[in-house]
Structure 1
Amino acid sequence: MQILVRFAQSHQEFRIPELLSVAQVCGFELEIPSDADATRPFMVLDLPDEHHARLLARRCILIKAVSEFWATGATAEELHVAVKANEAAWRPYEHVSFKFLVGAYNQTISSAEQRARMESLRYMDFDGKIDLKHPELVMEWWEEYDDAGELSGLPRGEGKGLLRQIYFSRAIEDGSARTLVHKFDVKKRAYFGNTSMEAEISLLMANQTLASPGKLMYDPFVGTGSMLYTAAHFGAIVFGSDIDGRQIRGRGTEKKETPGVESAARQYGLAGRLLGCATFDVTRNPWRRGGLFDAIVTDPPYGVRAGAKRLGRKDLTKQRTSPVRLSDGILSHVKPDYIPPTRPYELADLARDLVRFARWALRPGGRLVFFLPTVTDEYAAVDIPTLEGMELVANSCQDFGSWGRRLITMRKVAQDDGERPEFPLEGLPYGGGGNGDEEHVPAHKGFRDKYFAGFKREEKEQLAASSST
């Protein structure tokens, strides 16, 4: 069966990776057509049957609806020729109740124009009852236009864009997973912070992990827990850790229950799938063996709102290598008021170490899903950390102009866990993040400094432009 997928108008680069991941979760193979264009709002897929289309609609966050594809054409005349040629698909519905739905992308179609589209299909000669509320058949006519609104200075859909394609199909199911974006909206959450991941992105990340009942997921930079809730919603058992326990615990008042990751999990009815959270540095983790997790999903801090930290002193010449007993004979690190020293965790080091940790901690076939910020003009594919035993599955960019963040999905293809990795404070050679090029330094090294320097340059340019006018 050929299925017409209608996408939500966001995160275009994430569409195909999500389709492939959800198909894998649902237990079937999906082949994306070689000419598929993920930037367009419609895509035709070959699926075994209608049931598989419904599975995609119920799990894919970026799907607005799925329908049985009947015909397409670059013009109305071409479409009618295609509809007549495919009579075998629609003729079995000639006696059922029905209605038409006419819509457009990047264009507004008036009621009179919609009626004209419907009237042009009279040759189908359906004798069933027209039922606008509960029809047995909904036939959809969708027109796709180029967006000329920006060029003409008009809002989206009000410009005179050129018609690109018309699609005619039988409605199967609306994308019900889209409602989860509202359910997990951070503004409605019992507990969230200024670095909480937005709901739509955390849901997309959960799909990339292949989250499903019985799988064990781990977030080593858990923060306020956004990725835990969405993975748990899809049935996974989740655990989180962070070097800063204050984010996990939250801060409450005498009149209100102490907020935190656990309170948000209870809000969503997911407390039973939260194993818990712990405070530790992932580079000094307590895991006693590898091959524990089905997926590691995280959004590492990269310094724009909060910088990553790891245990150790900024000045490595003052770094202790053994516990020091105080004059009272008590080890300093067991005293109640002890605060361990921390040092900045360079993003390029963190990304490389995260892949090395995943190579050891994941089960064979397990996935690592994480965001990596990049400087748009400097990014190169060689920047993505690589490691023998880890395979790149997807690399999708959320573009913010001068910079963006890439959702990296990797799979552990190694069948063994290898040696437990060590993470020396002085770091390791970059080598392109492990790609064999020892001369290459990833463009995201020093991202925080580049980010703020870039904004300062833009401010200076704006001031110069305003002073000259």
Structure 2
Amino acid sequence: MSENYEDVAAVLPLNNAPVDLENPCNTFTILEEYADAHKSEPDRLVFCRLIGHGQYKLKSQYDIKKRRYIGNTTMDPELAFIQSNISSVKNDDLVLDPFVGTGGLILPAAHFGAYVVGTEINYQIAKAIGKSSRHDVEMRSDEESVLANFEQYGTQRHYLCGLLADASWHDLWARPLFDAIVTDPPYGIREKGRKIGKKPRKDHWTLPSAEHHYHFPEKQPYTLEKTFTDLCDLAAKILLVGAKLSFWFPVVLER
């Protein structure tokens, strides 16, 4: 191995290159590639200059098992960070998730310095009440909320708000405002797609909705096709020029 290093050093102009191990301007590495683990000599040498460090530690830092508030479809943190990178999310951007759930996709955006907004139609998810998604835990606790997740990671300043709203209604914002939309719409498998609308009336509904003391908007099924066409319409209306829309889409692979 030392002979390989000497061969590389022999062809490098190192005569006028001062070495600073504490504060180097450049860091170089020699990689040895072996096609067979039993070989004594490498198949090739690669001389590399360090251009940046990866952020693999974020996967464990944002581990779902350690997160205060999760749901049935909370996105894997590694995939969530990849999505923010694909969307070119950067410092001081304004980012929206119209199907925010527990906030799993906007947490990485906030980590990168963006300000984030989410909308969620499910009252129990938005308010963090009801049955827990954790194993062997029956009900959610008062300590669980989307805001609690941001507080856990020290990014609460970047969480502007979470709105109880229907993603199919596009009148919340009247002009282009956002730098990115990152989202994972419901596919109807683990979470059903829902939007505000009238249900077919049933005979035992004898009391008109207007006479109820507490009124919750009725919801109707939200088809997969309509979900994504509405999402594209929303993006066309509220994204700035040059902004990006990224979303997950279900695909059934043929065996």
TM-score class normalised by the smaller sequence: 0.7 to 0.9
TM-score of the superposition, structure 2-length normalised?
Answer: 0.77
* Conserved 8 A contact 1:289-1:361: yes
Once the two structures are superposed, the pairs formed by residues 69-468 of structure 1 within 5 Å of their partners are: 114-121=1-8, 123-124=10-11, 136=24, 138-144=27-33, 166-175=45-54, 177-251=55-129, 257-313=142-198, 315=200, 331-332=210-211, 335-336=213-214, 338-377=215-254
Unaligned runs of 5+ in 1: 1-113, 147-156, 320-324, 378-401, 403-469
* Conserved 8 A contact 1:250-1:258: no
Q: CA deviation at 1:212?
A: 2.4
**Separation in 2 of the partners of 1:236 and 1:190?**
21
Give the CA RMSD over aligned residues: 3.5
Counterpart secondary structure, 1:205: helix
Once the two structures are superposed, the pairs formed by residues 21-100 of structure 1 within 5 Å of their partners are: none
Counterpart secondary structure, 2:250: strand
Alignment CA distance shift 1:303-1:158 (3 Å): farther
**Separation in 2 of the partners of 1:135 and 1:213?**
27
The C-alpha deviation readout for 1:363-421, integer Å capped at 9, x for no partner, is: 222211111121234xxxxxxxxxxxxxxxxxxxxxxxx5xxxxxxxxxxxxxxxxxxx
**Separation in 2 of the partners of 1:269 and 1:371?**
27
Q: CA deviation at 1:158?
A: 5.5
Instruction: Kindly provide the amino acid, as one letter, of the partner of residue 300 in structure 1.
Output: P
* Conserved 8 A contact 1:232-1:274: yes
* Conserved 8 A contact 1:231-1:238: yes
**Separation in 1 of the partners of 2:112 and 2:23?**
32
Instruction: Kindly provide the amino acid, as one letter, of the partner of residue 356 in structure 1.
Output: D
* Conserved 8 A contact 2:70-2:102: yes
**Separation in 1 of the partners of 2:43 and 2:34?**
5
Instruction: Kindly provide the amino acid, as one letter, of the partner of residue 250 in structure 1.
Output: A
Unaligned runs of 5+ in 2: 131-137
Q: How many residues align?
A: 238
The C-alpha deviation readout for 1:187-232, integer Å capped at 9, x for no partner, is: 2211112211111111111122322233211111001101111111
2:134 corresponding residue in structure 1: none
| Bigger RCO of structures 1 and 2 (CA < 8 A, at least 6 apart) | 2
User: Which protein is richer in strand relative to its size?
Assistant: 1
Q: Percent identity?
A: 31
The C-alpha deviation readout for 1:301-360, integer Å capped at 9, x for no partner, is: 112321211223565xx59xxxxx957xx725x732x34332222212211221112111
**Separation in 1 of the partners of 2:103 and 2:240?**
22
Counterpart secondary structure, 1:174: coil
**Separation in 1 of the partners of 2:176 and 2:218?**
30
Structure ID, larger Rg: 1
Instruction: Kindly provide the amino acid, as one letter, of the partner of residue 273 in structure 1.
Output: H
**Separation in 2 of the partners of 1:282 and 1:200?**
25
**Separation in 2 of the partners of 1:274 and 1:298?**
16
User: Which protein is richer in helix relative to its size?
Assistant: 1
Instruction: Kindly provide the amino acid, as one letter, of the partner of residue 31 in structure 2.
Output: W
1:13 corresponding residue in structure 2: none
